[in-house]
């Protein structure tokens, strides 16, 4: 039996386990990336592990999220990351160089290699045939120290692309179609591989848009073959020697196959407040809009912005629309500046932002009250834009630009002849904004610079014998990490200060939660399906840890968040019978007798609801390794104990 692309890479990097679906495999990690919002914590954890120099082939620290500097905090964190990177062998991508995923694809990614990143959109690297996976900061710290990265061996889904996109239909519309078919939880426990004749019609930036937003499926990752198109992209980046070919075996077996005829797709949008709430632009109709934002790691490539510039050229943005554009990288920005496309964009009235995440993570450009905002981004969770009642629609750059001109939802196919933008023979690359680490002989003398906002990792303790605590919060289905640990310009500067950021934990759902949890001392949270979807931020586990949360009981978890809970030493429990969700109310006194012993023996647990008397069976699927992590009180303690 042959192998899929992902299985080939896993096989070549397998350090432990066998490749049976659902069992735990340990992978050798070739490359890591961090961004600043998760990076400070990841490097504090790396320091705590105590390895002097990274053991990966390449580790890069990017500054792209916390670039709005309204106080000293973000600048202090950037300085810390720069100095810690220099000391420990990590390349540092300065603020202004661009969004981590875009820059990594352009300058560092290599087909066939493994990459983990402390950001859920790390799968962007799948666009050039990398096995690129989003992870918690602590997992990245361990991998930088030479440790394996563990995943549960995923099922393989093949998305068979046939035909060719019609003019004005975009790669974004392909991934929106996949989301429509699979939903935001359809990819959990799966790797999505793209194949078929249609792949040859897609450029690398288009493939990267698709693998990037594969994160919204809940998938472990997404991947494209590495072919002649990949080769010419890499050659145009001056990196042809980094290219290698990668395709599935002819007899590779997939657990699921989905066929998509590209020629049948039309422009679409993900409607509020979920990336899988997909409708065609035609179905939505010519509704009035207030704002358009173009950029983010999904759609800010040279190709995307050249198309946008061509649409805007010689026109003026509708008087009722605010159009903001953030190019994905310095390379993209520079090329637009040199070839005049930037002037076309400026002339049309766009508000140009620095190349960073910006509005995507609520760092500015929050829309007006109830404002309808069309964005080329990947997430439209409620409140994420910074405006609680903002109505965010996720669309292609073509739909975004066309609508910015008319002031209403506009199908770009109404614009007439499509613009044909070829990829350049050579991109204008220049790594002058990437600082190399200090040579080995100088690393000891590098001083790590810490600001006053940088506080240590929260206190942990080994799993207790019994848990006897109340339920401090009960939430519903599809809770995102943006609910658990909101981001935005006000809260993101607190990412390196867990006590301070914890004051915002779950406040989107219940503004009294932090005070209540603190007053209770220890407690349990109850949730529904797909709990913790979205971001990789381990703060969504560290803040609850700080607030005394001992266990989270849900109908099902999203992958990265579940492992972040384990890393933080919080028990991730699932109801054996989903209906038992109704058997716990907020305020109920809960007891898990003999929890330490039962967990160490690998047995299932029973929760006793002392308020109602009901016994509730729950599961805690842990491998030998994750069981030991939970018993130790989290991955940091486990790693320190086990070297
Ligand atoms: C996001 O898009 O939600 C983020 C901000 O990039 C996060 C990381 C973070 O919260 O710092 C992610 O996707 O992992
Ligand atoms: Fe940045 Fe948005 Fe991409 Fe997250 S999804 S990495 S915030 S651009």
CATH of the domain at 334: 3.30.499.10
pLDDT digits (tens, 9 = 90+) for 108-153: 999 999 999 999 999 999 999 999 999 999 999 999 999 999 999 9
- Half-sphere exposure (CA, 13 Å, Cβ side) for 116? 29
The pLDDT confidence band at residue 272, using thresholds 50, 70 and 90, is: very high
278-280 and 268-270 beta bridge pairing: antiparallel
Q: Which of 357, 363, 560 to mutate to test the pocket of ligand 2 (most atoms within 8 A of CB)?
A: 357
pLDDT digits (tens, 9 = 90+) for 543-571: 999 999 999 999 999 999 999 999 999 99
Specify the ligand 1 atom closest to the Cα of 487. 10
Query: What percent of the chain has a predicted confidence (pLDDT) above 70?
Result: 100
Closest CA to 155 of 201, 187, 125: 187
pLDDT digits (tens, 9 = 90+) for 158-189: 999 999 999 999 999 999 999 999 999 999 99
Q: Which of 212-216, 250-254, 588-592, 638-642 has the lowest mean pLDDT?
A: 638-642
Claim to verify: residue 543 and residue 620 sit in the same structural domain: yes
Choosing from 223, 242, 264, the residue where a domain stops is: 264
Averaged pLDDT for residues 589-596: 97
Closest CA to 473 of 545, 512, 526, 404: 526
Q: Residue 643: pLDDT above 80?
A: no
8 Å CB contact between 531 and 523? no
Closest CA to 150 of 22, 2, 8: 22
Claim to verify: residue 192 and residue 284 sit in the same structural domain: no
Averaged pLDDT for residues 311-340: 98
How far, in Å, CA of 415 to CA of 170, rounded?
14
Q: Residue 605: pLDDT above 80?
A: yes
Q: Which of 39, 95, 99, 481 to mutate to test the pocket of ligand 2 (most atoms within 8 A of CB)?
A: 99
Q: Is residue 455 part of a domain?
A: no
How many structural domains does the chain have? 3
Q: Is residue 603 part of a domain?
A: yes
Closest-approaching ligand to the CA atom of 328: 2
Q: Is residue 232 part of a domain?
A: yes
Q: Closest Cα to atom 9, ligand 1: which residue? A: 537
pLDDT digits (tens, 9 = 90+) for 233-249: 999 999 999 999 999 99
Residue identified by tokens 């690359």 is 429
How far, in Å, CA of 174 to CA of 270, rounded?
12
Look up residue 359 and give its two tokens.
């509005």
Specify the ligand 1 atom closest to the Cα of 539. 10
Choosing from 224, 249, 264, the residue where a domain stops is: 264
How far, in Å, CA of 414 to CA of 406, rounded?
11
* pLDDT value for 642: 83
Q: Residue 629 phi/psi, 5° resolution?
A: -65, -45
Calculate how far, in angstroms, residue 297's C-alpha sits from the geometric centre of ligand 2: 6
Closest-approaching ligand to the CA atom of 538: 1
Claim to verify: residue 223 and residue 289 sit in the same structural domain: no
Claim to verify: residue 227 and residue 272 sit in the same structural domain: no
Q: Residue 631: pLDDT above 80?
A: yes
Q: Closest Cα to atom 4, ligand 1: which residue? A: 535
CB 101 less than 6 A from any atom of ligand 1: no
Claim to verify: residue 182 and residue 327 sit in the same structural domain: no
CB 100 less than 6 A from any atom of ligand 1: no
Q: Is residue 40 part of a domain?
A: yes
Q: Closest Cα to atom 12, ligand 1: which residue? A: 535
Per-residue buried b or exposed e for 359-369, using 16+ beta carbons within 10 Å of the residue's own CB: bbbbbbbbbee
Q: Which of 102, 536, 558 to mutate to test the pocket of ligand 1 (most atoms within 8 A of CB)?
A: 536
The domain that contains 522 carries what CATH number?
3.20.19.10
* pLDDT value for 640: 85
Specify the ligand 1 atom closest to the Cα of 38. 11
The overall pTM is greater than 0.95: yes
CB 114 less than 6 A from any atom of ligand 1: no
pLDDT digits (tens, 9 = 90+) for 360-381: 999 999 999 999 999 999 999 9
The pLDDT confidence band at residue 201, using thresholds 50, 70 and 90, is: very high
Helix (H, G, I), strand (E, B) or coil at 258: strand
Claim to verify: residue 215 and residue 146 sit in the same structural domain: yes
Q: Which of 37, 121, 354 to mutate to test the pocket of ligand 2 (most atoms within 8 A of CB)?
A: 121
> What is the extent of the structural domain holding 338?
268-413
Choosing from 249, 264, 279, the residue where a domain stops is: 264
How far, in Å, CA of 367 to CA of 393, rounded?
12
Q: Closest Cα to atom 1, ligand 2: which residue? A: 357
Closest CA to 378 of 534, 265, 262: 534
CB 297 less than 6 A from any atom of ligand 2: yes
Q: Is residue 432 part of a domain?
A: no
Closest-approaching ligand to the CA atom of 39: 1
Claim to verify: residue 80 and residue 225 sit in the same structural domain: yes
Helices (H), 89-145: 100-107, 137-144
Q: Residue 413: pLDDT above 70?
A: yes
Q: Is residue 427 part of a domain?
A: no
Look up residue 527 and give its two tokens.
């949730």
Per-residue buried b or exposed e for 577-601, using 16+ beta carbons within 10 Å of the residue's own CB: eeebbebbeeebebebeebbeebee
The pLDDT confidence band at residue 419, using thresholds 50, 70 and 90, is: confident
How far, in Å, CA of 516 to CA of 470, rounded?
11
Claim to verify: residue 169 and residue 282 sit in the same structural domain: no
Claim to verify: residue 332 and residue 479 sit in the same structural domain: no
Q: Residue 491: pLDDT above 80?
A: yes
Look up residue 29 and give its two tokens.
């990690």
Closest-approaching ligand to the CA atom of 363: 2
8 Å CB contact between 517 and 464? no
């Amino acid at each position: 039996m042959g192998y899929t692309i992902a299985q080939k890479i896993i096989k070549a990097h397998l350090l432990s386990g066998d490749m049976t679906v659902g069992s735990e495999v340990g992978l050798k990690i070739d490359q890591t990336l961090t961004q600043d919002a998760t990076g400070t914590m990841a490097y504090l954890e790396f320091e705590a592990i105590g390895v002097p120099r990274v053991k990966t082939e390449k580790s890069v620290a990017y500054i792209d999220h916390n670039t709005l500097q309204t106080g000293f905090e973000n600048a202090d964190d950037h300085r810390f990351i720069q100095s810690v990177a220099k000391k420990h062998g990590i390349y540092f991508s300065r603020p202004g160089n661009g969004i981590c995923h875009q820059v990594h694809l352009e300058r560092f990614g290599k087909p066939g290699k493994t990459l983990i990143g402390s950001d859920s959109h790390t799968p962007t690297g799948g666009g050039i045939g990398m096995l690129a996976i989003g992870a918690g900061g602590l997992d990245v710290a361990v991998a930088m120290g030479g440790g394996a990265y563990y995943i549960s061996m995923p099922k393989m889904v093949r998305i068979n692309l046939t035909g060719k996109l019609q003019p004005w239909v975009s790669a974004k519309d392909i991934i929106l179609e996949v989301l429509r078919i699979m939903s935001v939880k359809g990819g959990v426990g799966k790797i999505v591989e793209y194949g078929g004749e249609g792949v040859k019609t897609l450029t690398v930036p288009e493939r990267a848009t698709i693998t990037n937003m594969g994160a919204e499926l809940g998938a472990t990752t997404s991947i494209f073959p590495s072919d002649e198109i990949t080769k010419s992209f890499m050659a145009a980046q001056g990196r042809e020697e980094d290219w290698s070919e990668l395709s599935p075996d002819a007899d590779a077996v997939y657990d699921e196959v989905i066929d998509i005829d590209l020629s049948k797709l039309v422009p679409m949008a993900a409607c509020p407040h979920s990336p899988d709430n997909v409708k065609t632009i035609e179905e939505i109709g010519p509704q009035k809009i207030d704002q358009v934002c173009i950029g983010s790691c999904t759609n800010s490539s040279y190709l995307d912005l050249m198309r946008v510039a061509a649409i805007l050229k010689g026109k003026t943005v509708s008087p009722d629309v605010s159009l903001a554009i953030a190019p994905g990288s310095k390379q993209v920005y520079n090329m637009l500046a040199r070839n005049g496309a930037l002037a076309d964009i400026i002339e049309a009235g766009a508000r140009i932002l620095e190349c960073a995440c910006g509005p995507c993570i609520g760092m500015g450009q929050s829309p007006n009250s109830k404002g309808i905002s069309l964005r080329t981004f990947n997430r439209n969770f409620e409140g994420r834009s910074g405006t609680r009642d903002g109505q965010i629609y996720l669309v292609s750059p073509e739909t975004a630009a066309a609508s910015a001109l008319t002031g209403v939802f506009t199908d770009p196919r109404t614009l007439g002849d499509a613009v044909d933008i070829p990829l350049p023979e050579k991109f204008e690359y220049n790594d002058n904004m990437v600082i190399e680490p200090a040579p080995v002989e100088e690393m000891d003398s590098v001083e790590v610079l810490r600001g006053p906002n940088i506080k240590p990792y929260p206190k942990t303790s080994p799993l207790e014998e019994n848990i006897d605590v109340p339920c401090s919060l009960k939430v519903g289905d599809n809770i995102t990490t943006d609910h658990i640990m909101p981001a935005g310009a006000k809260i993101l500067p607190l990412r390196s200060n867990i006590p301070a950021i914890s004051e915002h934990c779950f406040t989107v759902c219940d503004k009294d939660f932090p005070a209540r949890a603190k007053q209770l001392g220890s407690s349990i949270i109850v949730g529904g399906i797909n709990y913790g979807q979205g971001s990789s931020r381990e703060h969504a586990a560290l803040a609850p840890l700080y607030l005394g949360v001992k266990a989270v009981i849900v109908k099902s978890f999203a992958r990265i968040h579940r492992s972040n809970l384990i890393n933080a030493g919080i028990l991730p429990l699932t109801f054996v019978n989903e209906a038992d969700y109704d058997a716990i109310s907020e305020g109920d006194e809960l007891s898990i007798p003999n929890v330490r012993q039962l967990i160490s023996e690998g047995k299932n647990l029973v929760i006793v609801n002392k308020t109602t008397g009901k016994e509730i069976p729950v599961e805690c699927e842990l491998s030998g390794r994750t069981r030991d992590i939970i018993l130790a009180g989290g991955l940091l303690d486990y790693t320190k104990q086990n070297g």
